[in-house]
Amino acid sequence: MKSKIRFYSILLCGFVLLSFSAWMPHPNEKQISKVEVPPTDRYLYVAVPGIRNYLGYGGHGILVFDIDNGHKFVKRIKTQGLLANGIPSNVKGVAVSVPLNSIYVSTLQTLQRIDLTTEEVLWEKTYEGGADRMSISPDGKTMYLPSLEKTFWNVVDCESGNIIKKIEVVQRAHNTLYGPSGKHAYLADIASPYLHVTDTKDHTIIKKIGPFGDGIRPFTINSEETLTYVNVDNLLGFEVGDLKSGKVLARVVVQGWEMGAVRRHGNPSHGIGLTPDEKEVWVSDGHNMRLHIFSSEPPYQQLSTIPLQDMPGWITFSIDGKYAYPSSGEVIDVKTRKVLFTLQDEFYNYVASEKMVEIQIQENRVVQAGDQFGIGRATKPITLEK
């Protein structure tokens, strides 16, 4: 009996040793350790005063809201952009350079670069002819900065703020959009019915899209840079242009709502954006204080309308397409069309601005940024040519 117990004990020990050796990695095998991926935080950066110089819409600075925490107010970043009398000037645009970890704010007179980690103003520069709503290249190196409704755009180095080149257009330089491919920039001169397109290798104008029905106001493009959706003067609605052929494809009028007087911008529809999936076009209606939603494809069916608390003058979206941000301060669920929140500052005051952008932060540095324009994001990110 004892011999049998000894035999089974030896057998059991052998089995345990074999099992343990099978579990242990071979000396030549590489150990694969679990890599901890730092969390990515998503914030909405809102530059104010972003509706003219009205301090009653959020005061002065950059207000930061936590997208994943009910768009709660996080902090106020101090900015410059002051007039000689110390009063904040109108904010005209906001843009981000991911590789330079910087956010840029233009006012009527100046452009300032702010580090997104230290939140310090690295420089503020004054440009002859003023500054308007700018756009930055996908590689974060180059900015197209329009003069303040003068005859030209400045091409600016994002790191130094120095002017690379001056581009003459027509009469009233205004809205600007750098294409997602990085190969072209799109320039809207209010005094012209044409959208001007540049080759960004040498910053020369290579074509014009149009003529559209009137002077071009806010506009957007799809991710493949084949279509543009344009607000024009004296139209409650939008027009569609082919960026390849240069032809105007359609004129779409909002049905069921009158085209009346507006308090700002002097135009019935000032503000237009594509949902990031490029299925819908959202259009501002200043007189009726609404957003009108259309299909982005012919026959451009009018789908819905959303009432707002104030006059909209701009519209953009979160990168993932979940939220719409009209300049009137609402946060709208794109799928359900419902107003979820209204932006409020640290004093629970109502915040509104036409200059806002999503920034994603990881380990205290920006890793991805949206833009102030509601451009399409249906295709995968494009790798720039070296």
Domain boundaries, the chain: 41-369
**Reported confidence tier of residue 380, pLDDT bands at 50, 70, 90:** low
- pLDDT tens-digit readout, 144-201: 999 999 999 999 999 999 999 999 999 999 999 999 999 999 999 999 999 999 999 9
Q: Is the separation of the CB atoms in 282 and 383 below 8 Å?
A: no
Position 362, amino acid: Q
Cα–Cα separations (whole angstroms), residue 2 to 9, 12, 13: 10, 15, 16
Percent of the chain beyond pLDDT 90?
A: 88
Architecture of domain 41-369: 7 Propeller (2.130)
Position 133, amino acid: R
Cα–Cα separations (whole angstroms), residue 172 to 113, 150, 192, 213, 321: 25, 5, 8, 17, 32
- pLDDT tens-digit readout, 252-266: 999 999 999 999 999
- pLDDT tens-digit readout, 311-359: 999 999 999 999 999 999 999 999 999 999 999 999 999 999 999 999 9
- Identify the CA nearest to 312 among candidates 8, 57, 6, 34: 57
DSSP states along 205-220: EEEEE---SSSEEEEE
Report the alpha-carbon distance of residue 84 to residue 82 in Å, rounded.
7
